[in-house]
């Protein structure tokens, strides 16, 4: 895989909301590829974040594709309004979506890319039958709910096995990793086969978020 295919997706969760427009412009100038938007419902995960209004606001202030990660029960309730608000990717959790095939098909009908996320303890086998229909597979490298958590080291081997699973299925899905991604953890994930990297704290907690986006990308290029 070439380093040119690396995607860096800073997470809105760690943005300074008092400087939303400015901080998004900063990471855009730094070459970020997507803006990751974490939607949490206080039920699937023990935290609450944002909904369609914030997605619509982001769509107005940036041209970056909005990579919306739904950490919610009954995610299908939000597909129409989030697609209308400007989401480019809608990723649902396998643990919260018993009818993955139907839900993935519905996301695509709405014109979005369809992703499925797996928590650290969820078997990769839960997506094998649907792998060829996915636009994105998200491997969680922390337990979802909060930014700034430590990367779970076993995630590297999961990424390797997820890459093999996608290849075996002939799937062209993006392989994204989310949680604890930093200049210290990104290289191992890239080498294991991930191509898309969510980073919240590492980017928006840095003194220079634009430079940090470039550094994260460079860590992949160096190891290609």
Instruction: Give me the active site residues, please.
Output: 38, 178
Residue nearest to Zn ion (CB): 69
50 binds, among ligand DX5, Zn ion, none (CB under 5 to 8 A by kind): none
Provide the mask over 48-87, with x wherever binding to Zn ion is found by CB under 5 A and - wherever it is not: ---------------------x------------------
Residues 223 and 168: their CA atoms lie apart, in Å, by: 24
Smallest distance, ligand DX5 to C-beta of residue 180, A: 5
Q: Nearer Cβ to ligand DX5, position 16 or 109?
A: 16
Among 6, 10, 32, 38, binds Zn ion (CB under 5 A): 38
Q: Nearer Cβ to ligand DX5, position 119 or 169?
A: 119
Is there a contact between 65 and 44 (Cβ–Cβ < 8 Å)?
A: no
Number of Cβ within a 10 Å radius of residue 52: 18
Q: Nearer Cβ to ligand DX5, position 127 or 216?
A: 216
Which pair of tokens denotes residue 22? Answer: 């400015």
List of residues 6+ apart from 206 with CB closer than 8 A: 212
Choose the stretch contacting Zn ion; rule: CB under 5 A; options: 18-26, 36-44, 56-64, 126-134.
36-44
Picking from 94, 109, 105, the residue whose alpha carbon sits closest to that of residue 133 is 105
List strands edge to edge, sheet with 136-140: 7-10, 196-199, 174-178, 136-140, 113-118, 87-93, 66-71, 35-40
For CA atoms 78, 47, 53, 113, give the dihedral sign.
negative
Is there a contact between 44 and 93 (Cβ–Cβ < 8 Å)?
A: yes
Smallest distance, Zn ion to C-beta of residue 188, A: 19
Q: Which residues in the 165-204 window bind Zn ion by CB under 5 A?
A: 178
Q: Which residues bind ligand DX5 (CB under 6 A)?
A: 11, 13-14, 36, 38, 69, 142, 144-149, 178-181, 198-202
Q: Nearer Cβ to Zn ion, position 180 or 209?
A: 180
**Which residues are 92's β-sheet partners?**
70, 116
Q: Nearer Cβ to ligand DX5, position 8 or 202?
A: 202
Smallest distance, ligand DX5 to C-beta of residue 98, A: 21
Residue matched to tokens 């550094």: 215
91 binds, among Zn ion, ligand DX5, none (CB under 5 to 8 A by kind): none
Calculate the alpha carbon distances from 19 to 16, 24, 57, 71 in Å: 5, 9, 13, 25
Q: Contact residues for Zn ion (CB under 5 A)?
A: 38, 69, 178
């Amino acid at each position: 895989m070439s380093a040119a295919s690396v995607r860096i997706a800073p997470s809105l969760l760690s943005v300074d909301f008092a400087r939303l427009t400015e901080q998004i412009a900063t990471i855009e100038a730094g070459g970020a590829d997507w803006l990751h938007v974490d939607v949490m419902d206080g039920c699937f995960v023990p935290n609450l974040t944002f909904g369609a209004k914030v997605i619509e606001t982001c769509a107005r202030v940036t041209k970056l594709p909005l990579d919306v990660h739904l950490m919610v029960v009954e995610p299908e309730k939000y597909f129409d309004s989030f697609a209308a608000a400007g989401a480019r990717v809608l990723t649902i959790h396998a643990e919260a979506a018993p009818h993955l095939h139907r839900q993935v098909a519905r996301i695509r009908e709405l014109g979005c890319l369809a992703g499925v996320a797996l928590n650290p303890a969820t078997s990769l086998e839960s997506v094998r039958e649907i792998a060829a229909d996915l636009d994105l597979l998200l491997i969680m490298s922390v337990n979802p709910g909060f930014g700034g958590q430590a990367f779970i080291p076993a995630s590297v081997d999961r990424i390797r096995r997820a890459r093999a699973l996608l290849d075996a299925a002939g799937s062209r899905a993006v392989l994204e990793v989310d949680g604890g991604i930093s200049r210290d953890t990104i290289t191992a994930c890239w080498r294991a086969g991930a191509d898309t990297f969510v980073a919240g704290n590492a980017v928006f907690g840095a003194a220079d978020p634009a430079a940090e986006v470039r550094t994260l990308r460079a860590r992949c290029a160096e190891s290609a």
